[in-house]
Structure 1
């Protein structure tokens, strides 16, 4: 223990706080004050990506559903009276033969505005794969992604953009930040994530609205206390020194950066709807999910933070920013619906959160004039089995449907190939009677999905090949064309 800094509750609190700031500062970015009710200043070529991760495996088959007579009949026959969404309750989407789960109704106006699209049957792939190839492949064939139907492994494959968990320890968002040389690493409001890991940087992890993000006693008004002011002066003096050991210099720099980040971020992150330093335009967009000045919905709170950081993009620094948010509990093996209604249950509650939060975020981006600069997209572990289980739920599958949202999206359309809704059909991995569950072989890969987003983000073809090592296996079909 340093005798100049005796142990005390204040010292222990400072160590806990600065430890968290040090972890955050490994991806260093500086942010300034929040813009209040005006169009934000931003780089002329500013762009942001927002990854919305649905942990547990969202049931895409009940999120967007065919509405034409023949395919809806196929859907309803397999999903049954408990799990199938009544056709007259689906939220119709203009221009396509699909409808949304009623809980996603807030997204219908976004679709009608041409700012929302869906991509069918996306999943981890090494290369294009047919059912014949799948059944003929050896157990160790690279054609078969590692540990199919496993939560942790499939989360890793979606986040790292490969087909094996051992191929890389970084995420495709992190590799994009590294390859493109962004000022900040991936900024996560959902805790640590593989998606944002680089070779030498980890995600900058930030808290939700109303949270403290500062070194206790060593910043702001606390420095009026003589003892804390002297401690801060001593720390600043240590940070200004140069040491013979590189690791010591690096460690010192991270602490200095942590103070810099906290000083710039604390007021922005702490602002909640209605606060004097909040943004009136963003607050208005999130009014539908705000209760007495607080955003109770976890995903909405995360996207509220992202909206504030996007609005403040000039102070965040850099013309390219990648954000990560997440929503959990999509592993709906049981009680996905209730026995009394397929419109109630865990899945409906989760989709309500997703629909309201995404719609609020897009409203905010439209109203601050940055809609065409920000593209949000969903990811999830995998889809769910077409056939229900005996617990009013569904089990682990493979290919899944995803949403892309933003002013640059070629919205009001669907992309990719919808699976044939036939148990044991050409898209179902099952062959024997016991395995005919409707676990779709993806027809679009995570690589193509990510490449489409990153091409809009500004990555060149050679950079895409660096970021997404399996992309070249898909030949000229590198982009899915949704943005």
Structure 2
């Protein structure tokens, strides 16, 4: 039995990495508070259909290549293919299921980063062609187009994975350690929240009574093996002096987890209708999903995770400190087939969830203090496959949201919308499918967020070892 599964037996969904204390730091003034919320879209979201250029030239190129998967400016009854929602002064169109974000986009609270992905260093198509068969690990990211590897690289923040100086840790927890804070996850376990000596606190959904989890370490189960496990758990709770580093570490973990239960149980348990009226109002507001149907964020998986984050941010003084990082996730984006319907349903969750979260932050007076940003395994091929879907690619579009965002437009450089063009990683004609070589790196993306959160240039350089390979560390999408 591994260490994490063993901990789950005694603390339910609450997990802590070793070396993380649950004792809150002294509360600070709200004006100095800042938080970053990362939204992981597992499977590889198709950014090319999340945000579409509306200028005549590129829209014609997009429509020509995308064919049956192309979104349209005209409306249709399911809002699966249209209407594209104009933003950025009409230069770009959001997927129709992201209509809830139009108001925030046009108000400057949402923007998009173009063509970002794991890079070891700036890479042109000529260089990629030369390097891809060289087996030189400091030139190109490892295992391109692989789900598990690219998820790892996005969350690791280093294009070389476990061979790098940061090992198997995530840039979120590395930053948290520097800031003497922690990562709080409502999206399960992740590389993002894994550190060398500490890990994210993984928390459950609304309505969960964490105080009842303590019952799992009382000897009420008559089954003999369960009683033995309970006895062992209770011994570890007593922090025995032991020659075993693992036993002492487990004792510390269990004590910290129970301390977290005492600290956070009321916040976690709260559901709409309680004391968080401003947040409840935002997350129970109905948004249109089609011309004839609506949904609330709280009725959806991602929305419930963001509801939990919003309550934690409202209670930031209880958590202690002035800096927090959060991780939430939504899966299902591996759209090799039936992409139009599948992505539409998922983007409904993203659009409604983020819009509700932004409104909650505005109502709390914390809009300028919280930044939300997306990440995903990779983009998807510009050229569709023969199954009504797209395949694994590389560079992708990401959304950034919050009052500190210099929103209303885009940052970075869009790829050339041409198969076999200057950004296409396909060399031979058969592989020219629009797998975009990124023009901005995950390192730069993370460094921009972490600089705003308070890390210095030298701290970012240590946390993101490949950052020095890029002439611009900060991509400029956040204010001071």
TM-score range, shorter chain: 0.7 to 0.9
Looking at structure 2, the residues matched to 286 and 238 of structure 1 have their Cα atoms a distance apart, in angstroms, of 40
Q: Bigger shift: 347-356 or 286-295?
A: 286-295
Aligned to 1:383: 379
User: Could you say if the C-alpha distance between residues 289 and 249 of structure 1 is closer, same or farther in structure 2, counting changes exceeding 3 Å?
Assistant: farther
Quick check: 1:273–1:293 contact (8 Å CA) kept in 2?
no
User: Could you say if the C-alpha distance between residues 30 and 335 of structure 1 is closer, same or farther in structure 2, counting changes exceeding 3 Å?
Assistant: farther
Match of 2:125 among 119, 128, 131: 131
Aligned to 1:444: 440
Looking at structure 2, the residues matched to 70 and 293 of structure 1 have their Cα atoms a distance apart, in angstroms, of 37
Check if 1:70 corresponds to 2:53.
Answer: no
RMSD: 2.8
Q: Bigger shift: 361-370 or 210-219?
A: 210-219
Q: Secondary structure at the match of 1:282?
A: helix
Q: Secondary structure at the match of 2:161?
A: coil
Q: 1:39-94, CA deviations, whole angstroms, 9 ceiling, x for partnerless residues?
A: x98543211000000000000000010001111000000001x2100133211114
User: Could you say if the C-alpha distance between residues 205 and 375 of structure 1 is closer, same or farther in structure 2, counting changes exceeding 3 Å?
Assistant: same
Check if 1:404 corresponds to 2:400.
Answer: yes
Quick check: 1:29–1:317 contact (8 Å CA) kept in 2?
no
Aligned to 1:29: 22
Quick check: 1:28–1:204 contact (8 Å CA) kept in 2?
no
Aligned to 2:225: none
Q: Give the TM-score of the pair, scaled to structure 1.
A: 0.85
Quick check: 1:187–1:322 contact (8 Å CA) kept in 2?
yes
Q: Give the TM-score of the pair, scaled to structure 2.
A: 0.85
Match of 2:187 among 176, 190, 195: 190
Quick check: 1:96–1:413 contact (8 Å CA) kept in 2?
no
Match of 1:18 among 7, 10, 13: 10
Q: Bigger shift: 437-446 or 44-53?
A: 44-53
Looking at structure 2, the residues matched to 103 and 59 of structure 1 have their Cα atoms a distance apart, in angstroms, of 14
Aligned to 1:264: 263
Aligned to 2:290: none
Long gaps (5+) in structure 2: 1-5, 75-82, 217-229, 288-293
Match of 1:84 among 61, 70, 85: 70
Q: 1:109-153, CA deviations, whole angstroms, 9 ceiling, x for partnerless residues?
A: 111111111100000000000000000114312222100000000
Give 1 or 2 for the bigger CA radius of gyration: 1
Aligned to 1:312: 315
User: Could you say if the C-alpha distance between residues 454 and 156 of structure 1 is closer, same or farther in structure 2, counting changes exceeding 3 Å?
Assistant: same
Match of 2:44 among 43, 53, 57: 57
User: Could you say if the C-alpha distance between residues 267 and 22 of structure 1 is closer, same or farther in structure 2, counting changes exceeding 3 Å?
Assistant: closer
Aligned to 2:410: 414
Matches within 5 A, 1:430-441: 430-441=426-437
Match of 1:478 among 467, 473, 480: 473
Quick check: 2:145–2:394 contact (8 Å CA) kept in 1?
yes
Aligned to 2:223: none
Quick check: 1:211–1:270 contact (8 Å CA) kept in 2?
yes
Long gaps (5+) in structure 1: 1-13, 33-39, 220-231, 338-344
Looking at structure 1, the residues matched to 254 and 87 of structure 2 have their Cα atoms a distance apart, in angstroms, of 51
Looking at structure 2, the residues matched to 15 and 187 of structure 1 have their Cα atoms a distance apart, in angstroms, of 17
Matches within 5 A, 1:274-313: 274=273, 276=274, 278-288=275-285, 295-313=298-316
Match of 2:241 among 226, 229, 243: 243
Q: Secondary structure at the match of 1:95?
A: helix
User: Could you say if the C-alpha distance between residues 294 and 86 of structure 1 is closer, same or farther in structure 2, counting changes exceeding 3 Å?
Assistant: closer
Shift of 1:30: 4.9
Match of 1:330 among 333, 338, 362: 333
Shift of 1:19: 4.3
Quick check: 2:8–2:15 contact (8 Å CA) kept in 1?
no
Q: 1:144-168, CA deviations, whole angstroms, 9 ceiling, x for partnerless residues?
A: 2100000000000000011122222
Q: Bigger shift: 380-389 or 90-99?
A: 90-99
Looking at structure 1, the residues matched to 60 and 416 of structure 2 have their Cα atoms a distance apart, in angstroms, of 13
Shift of 1:17: 5.0
Quick check: 2:283–2:297 contact (8 Å CA) kept in 1?
no
Match of 2:366 among 357, 361, 370: 370
Aligned to 1:321: 324
Q: Secondary structure at the match of 1:252?
A: helix
Aligned to 2:155: 159
Quick check: 1:17–1:215 contact (8 Å CA) kept in 2?
no
